[in-house]
Amino acid sequence: MKRAFLFPGQGAQCVGMGKDIYEKYEEAKKIYEKASEITGKDITKLCFEGPEEELNKTENTQIAMLTTSLAILEVLKSKGIHADITTGLSLGEYGALIYAGIISLEDGIRLVQKRGYYMGNMIPKEEYAMAAVIGLDSKIIEKICEEISKEGKFVVPANYNCQVQTAISGEAEAIDEAIEKLKEAGAKKVVKLKTGGPFHTIKLEQAKQAYKKELEKVKFNFNTQVKVIKNIDGNYYNSTDNMVEILANHIVSPVRFDKAIQLMQEEKVDEYIEIGPGKVLTGFIKKENRESKTYNINDMESLENFCNIEVSYI
């Protein structure tokens, strides 16, 4: 049986995430404590108490999401549950790289804290927004974005989530214009997202350059049996990859989760397990193939239910 671990990105966070798992499992508790020690922030308070406004700040969201996912992952590992393939969405890619051992736990936590800070604070002063476009071919979305951009406005595809959903990012006014045009072009639905920064666009070039300096301090290890799919092109990482360039460019390049799904389907993955808050990634998987076997592990109930299924299966 071939299994994939999926790690969610920004937007799925919620106050209270991971609290029941932290309280029961020592393995999870140690991850939260380690993250708090490395970052100098009280990550448990941030995750469990918020407030929501504070948790939703990009500089806090990214490290809080990663810590919660890693805490759940640690419990799964302690129960002998592993995966052959792993990937994530945007910051979720770091959960995948840590699981595979390409990045150490300590370096991963440090990097994501810096990444969140730069992405949250090194952005132009204009007002930005993001929107999810559902039920419209990505080529049409690209064309509409190009047409609006020719008028001197800024809007581009930022997340290719799956064949039927693409997220766009840009100036708030340009997003509003794009929403109307995308609906006219036949989009089933267009939804504004909670995330407001111009993520995965050239507007974060300054953040990319600052983050690149952090990446240059890290040692990457490819002595792993786990295959990791990268967001930037939907292919596997390999030992010849320039990790500094790839992870720096990740900040300003579109996420190609659609290609990651395609690769996992070609690999004939049997089980997709989303580790962390929300059900976004398994939702994308289901949109591509309703018959896919998916699980979401985001609280005590879902964790124990999955572990019981595994015991029964064994």
Q: Which residues are catalytic?
A: 90, 200
Q: How far apart are CA 190 and CA 78, in angstroms?
A: 41
Any long-range contacts for 73-80 (C-beta under 8 Å, 24+ apart)? 73/5, 73/99, 73/275, 74/25, 74/27, 74/28, 74/30, 74/31, 75/21, 75/25, 75/27, 75/28, 75/303, 76/275, 76/297, 76/303, 76/307, 77/27, 78/25, 78/27, 79/307, 79/310
- 189 forms beta bridges with 134
Residue pair 90/255 in contact (Cβ under 8 Å)? The answer is yes
Q: How far apart are CA 71 and CA 73, in angstroms?
A: 5
Contacts (Cβ under 8 Å, ≥6 apart) of 213: none
Contacts (Cβ under 8 Å, ≥6 apart) of 285: 6, 162, 261, 264, 272, 292, 294
